[in-house]
Amino acid sequence: MKRFKKNALFFIVLVLIAVQGSSRDDYDYYDYYDYYAVYMDRTDLKKSISYKPGTEQEMKNPGKIYYKHPYLYVNEKYKGVHVFDNTDAKLEKKGFIVAPGCLDMAVKDNIIYLDNSVDLVSFNLETLKETKRIENVFPEPTPPNWNVRTDYDRPENLVIVEWIKR
């Protein structure tokens, strides 16, 4: 019985020390999150897919790469897809497909399939127009790590399209 009391007292002291050490009253808790979410209104998201010809879109945060002769498609995380012509191994930038929240893509025939945050979008590479959208197929993009604050009180018509490091 004496040993039980000793162990119980040790456990209680350990718990009190742990609770004391986890107090966050002396600083603002939200200043220590690594990433914050960028939101877009649902109606704006539906109108966001477009094609920009030319080379003005800079490659800053490349993601997945897809090759379908003679084109090379390089994902720009959360922004869209760079389109390069690789005819005769001479890489020439042709344009950029704007798709907020895009992290993945696939190409079949003349259609590129993109994630537009939570929606699946098919984009015709010949006409350079969106051909179909299926809403709410994917979960919202998740941050690169989980040290984030989630806004539970945000309006219902907003979706996350990007995570930016503080």
Architecture of domain 27-165: Beta Barrel (2.40)
**pLDDT average, residue stretch 61-84:** 94
Q: What six digits make up the tokens of 87?
A: 């005819």
Give backbone dihedrals phi and psi of 131, rounded to 5 degrees, phi first.
-105, -30
Q: SS3 for 162?
A: strand
Q: What is the pLDDT of residue 60?
A: 93
- Determine which of 35-39, 82-86, 116-120, 126-130 has the lowest per-residue pLDDT on average: 35-39
Q: What is the pTM of this model?
A: 0.76
Examine the pLDDT at 114 and tell me if it is beyond 70: yes
Q: SS3 for 89?
A: helix
**pLDDT average, residue stretch 127-131:** 96
